[in-house]
Amino acid sequence: MKVLLLGSGGREHALAWRISQSPHLDRLWVAEGNAGTARLATNLPVDPGDTLSVVETARSLGIDLVVVGPELPLANGIVDRLSEAGIRAFGPTQAAARIESSKGFARAIMQEAGVPGPSFSVFRDEQQALEYLSSHPGPTVVKADGLAAGKGVLLCQTAEEAAAAVRRCMTEGAFGAAGKTVVIEEFLTGQEISVFAFTDGETISPLVAACDYKQVGDGDVGPNTGGMGSFTPPEFWNEGLAEEVKHTVIAPVLRLLAGRGTPYRGVLYAGLMLTEEGIQTLEFNCRFGDPEAQVILPLLESDPLEVMLACAQGTLDQVPVCWRSRAHVGVVMTSGGYPGKYQTGYRITGLETEIPSSLVFHAGTRLTGEGPEDPVVTSGGRVLTVVGWGDDLADARFNAYRRLEMIHFDGCYYRRDIGEIPSTVEDGAWLPNPVPQSL
């Protein structure tokens, strides 16, 4: 198979790495890729957000399958346009991708499907949003309806903070058109978890789960980022919980979308909060998580191209999806200053030093020359995800940090607590809330 992969982050390097292991692969191209994907594939200077160029490129290369990494091309309708051109793609159509590209749509779908989630209201009018807040004094979450590169969710402790957040979205236009509609939600507390399933719209693969770290500093302090690390499996993840998530969250939504004539195909990512009241759904995403993909894709035992093709063709019932169970920890190395201002162009050293039970996935990196073996420099905020694995999380964590310590670039920063299990874990006391009864 000739495959074109869209995207250039750590998630896409992990996808390229896993796809390269498939015996079905003839040749792999990545648009636009990074220095890591350049070693496995041919990088192309094609913007994944430019739908026409992607379709033209796929057509001229005779691509058999386009694999879409990030949400933006999906929200732009890349899968629809490719399908019109007779090219198969892994990922949902524009209509199904609304589950991520409109938070109001996602909440409406969840409500109709009976999926548990926080109470919420959707506003297109600022005055109405502010009036609502005056009668809801407690903590709330204000969300820009559309895609905002992960920045459109504002956690507010008081109604004043929430009113300021509404104004930021609706008057100040902080998130552009994405913030013209806002969703205001009840503020939930509990244990967060990211759950993933492959689906062709009907068949659902076994679920796999990971946790990510959003805040920049150790102990979850400081501003939010695109993700500072991840690990799998979460200590509380088990078959019972997986079944519950499948039956109460994933299956009802997929059934509803299929019934509306907009079946969801691809990988579905459910962001969940385990609360005292049980499972609550925070969001759906129409793609793999980043940096969750970097710890999840190494677990995929089945052939990735067979699975993705089956999702695209509606034949997932004929392709078993198997996940291996092995602890993985992924630590993100960032440019100094991220998620604020940072400098790029620094030489990265130590990438060649191999350490057993570890892997390095690139994100914001670029080659300084034409050849894949040329020196690598930093080119973004999140630069690398260093992944380690082992028999348990402590082992995996040890291997990730051991590899990470071999790598250097000026100003590099990383969290030191990724995959760390708080010492009180045995009695469950570290959970913000008691483990829900239903689990």
Binding residues (CB under 6 A) for ligand AMP: these are 118, 141, 143, 153, 155, 185-188, 192, 271, 282-283
Verify binding: residue 100, ligand GLY, rule CB under 6 A: no
Q: Indicate the residue among 11 and 246 with the shorter CB distance to ligand GLY.
A: 11
Tell me how far, at minimum, the Cβ of 427 lies from ligand AMP, in Å. Answer: 25
CB nearer ligand GLY, residue 346 or residue 380: 380
In the bound state with ligand AMP, the residue whose beta carbon lies nearer, of 236 and 398, is: 236
**Binding segment toward ligand GLY, per CB under 6 A, in 129-137, 247-255, 283-291, 394-402:** 283-291
224 or 313: CB nearest ligand GLY: 224
Residue nearest ligand AMP, CB atom distance: 283
With CB under 6 A as the contact rule, the residue among 290, 361, 397, 419 that binds ligand GLY is 290
Identified binder of ligand GLY from the candidate list 145, 200, 292, 306, rule CB under 6 A: 292
Do residues 237 and 323 make contact, with C-beta atoms less than 8 angstroms apart? no
φ/ψ region of 337 (left if φ > 0, alpha if ψ in -120 to 50, else beta) reads left
CB of 272 to ligand GLY, least distance (A): 12
283 vs 306, beta carbon nearer ligand GLY: 283
**Binds 290: which of ligand GLY, ligand AMP, none (CB < 5-8 Å by kind):** ligand GLY
The C-alpha atoms of residue 348 and residue 413 are separated, in whole angstroms, by: 13
Going through 8-91 in order, the beta strands assigned E by DSSP cover 27-32, 42-44, 65-68, 89-90
Q: SS3 breakdown of the chain: % helix, strand, coil, rounded to 5?
A: 30, 30, 40
Q: Are 37 and 16 in contact (CB under 8 A)?
A: yes
Q: Select 186 or 218, whichever has its Cβ closest to ligand AMP.
A: 186
First and final CA of the chain: distance in angstroms?
42
Closest residue to ligand GLY, Cβ-based?
A: 289
What is the x/- site pattern for ligand GLY, positions 197-236, by CB under 6 A? ---------------x--------------x---------
User: What's 425's DSSP letter?
Assistant: G
**Which of ligand GLY, ligand AMP, none interacts with 292 (beta carbon under 5 to 8 A by kind)?**
ligand GLY
Q: Which stretch binds ligand GLY (CB under 6 A): 130-138, 288-296, 373-381, 401-409?
A: 288-296
Structure tokens at 276: 């005292």
CB atoms within 10 A of CB 307: 22
- φ, ψ (nearest 5 deg) of residue 160: -65, -45
Own/partner pairs for 95-98, CB < 8 Å, 24+ apart? 95/262, 96/257, 96/262, 96/263, 96/264, 96/265, 96/266, 96/286, 97/71, 97/286
CA distance 402 to 387: 10
Based on the shown chain and the rule CB under 6 A, indicate whether residue 12 belongs to the binding site for ligand GLY.
no
- Residue 276 burial (CB count, 10 A): 15
Q: Which residues bind ligand GLY (CB under 6 A)?
A: 150, 212, 227, 285, 289-290, 292
